[in-house]
Amino acid sequence: MQTDVAKKLGIEFPIFAFTHCRDVVVAVSKAGGLGVLGAVGFTPEQLEVELNWIDEHIGDKPYGVDIVIPGKYEGMGATDADKLEEDLKAMIPQEHRDFVQKLLAEHNVPDLPEEEKMRELIGFGTAIAGPQAEIALSHDKVVLLANALGTPPPDVIENVHAKGKFIAALCGSAAQAARHKAAGVDIVIAQGTEGGGHTGEIGSVVLWPEVLDVLGDTPRLAAGGVGNGRQMAAALAMGAQGVWTGSLWLTVAEADVPPAQMQSYFEATSKDTLRSRSWTGKPCRMLRNDWTEAWEDPENPKPLGMPMQFMVTSNAVQRGHKYPEQARDVQFNPVGQIVGTFEKMRPTRDVIFEMVEDCIDASERMSNLMNQNVEA
């Protein structure tokens, strides 16, 4: 089951797995797909450590890295991360910080020791994601660099191509896809609103063919609500050269997800997600909980723009990871509508193989149907 993109990247199956967990990256790539590590949660130094670990465990398999350089954000153009963080901190109203502390205190989420607190501005924009890109491209087994928000800057695209690697970018509309193509992006990832994390407003079945119509020969991956082989078959039938998946890997055995958080995914239905700006400042699909409800209340502070909102909430994310039981109702749970199908933890390899088998079965059903109509 190889498409042209899969052949170019040296993978067996056109299944791309976005994840923040290095173990999942390795497991997916070893199973024949392409694991893609989300770099937004790491400093450049931490990212180097993660990629060195992946290199040591992935064998001769390729993988990718996903960075975040939005098309529009506060502090665009800044290259000094320390100064940018200082300037942005001065723009954050104290009421937002007080509101976050109040929410966590009401849910008895302990604070962190001062020495464990991470810096507020991480993995974001040219000042930090630029160095991340340089680090990723220095690793031979990294074959793909993806940008999660907006068209990658020209110098990043040029650098990727100079290193003989591929660059991808996500989009939520045909107009965004056209800008990616004009900029020289190699692979456009069309993500419907059903997906987890940052999404637009257009559903996958509408978006995928719209994007295909403007891309011409530029390869497209389908994203947004893809969690099984039948959906993969539909995406391929609509012209995609692969599927970009994310939520699917939150409940695999290799995922670094606390038990309480994983259980919340198993208990959720597809109706339990919403798009909210409450964690990052841009619309992001996640599980609805006390945190999202609080930020929706018109009497409370409104979310700030990106990246200032995450600078306000980054400490809450870290506390949620350290104290998952206490933070369950105010936890950051980015996940797509496919969450309603999650029933139990499974090894990554089983998920990959079942997805491929189901895709083949669905394709054969369609082929048999077409043959029956021809014979009739």
**Structural domain boundaries of the chain?**
4-73+124-256+346-375
pLDDT of residue 296: 95
pLDDT of residue 125: 64
pLDDT of residue 44: 86
pLDDT of residue 271: 96
pLDDT digits (tens, 9 = 90+) for 62-107: 999 998 877 666 665 666 677 878 888 899 999 999 999 999 999 9
Q: Please, are residues 247 and 196 in contact by the beta-carbon 8 Å criterion?
A: yes
pLDDT of residue 212: 93
pLDDT of residue 75: 60
Q: How far apart are CA 23 and CA 63, in angstroms?
A: 12
| pTM for this prediction | 0.92
Mean pLDDT by 10 residues, the chain (376 residues): 92 97 98 95 90 98 91 63 83 95 96 84 70 93 93 91 96 96 97 94 96 94 96 96 97 92 93 95 94 96 91 92 91 95 96 96 87 68
Pick one of 3.30.470.10, 3.20.20.70, 3.40.50.970, 3.30.590.20 as the CATH number of 4-73+124-256+346-375. Answer: 3.20.20.70
Beta-carbon-side half-sphere exposure of residue 18 (alpha carbons within 13 Å):
33
pLDDT digits (tens, 9 = 90+) for 279-303: 999 999 999 999 999 999 999 999 9
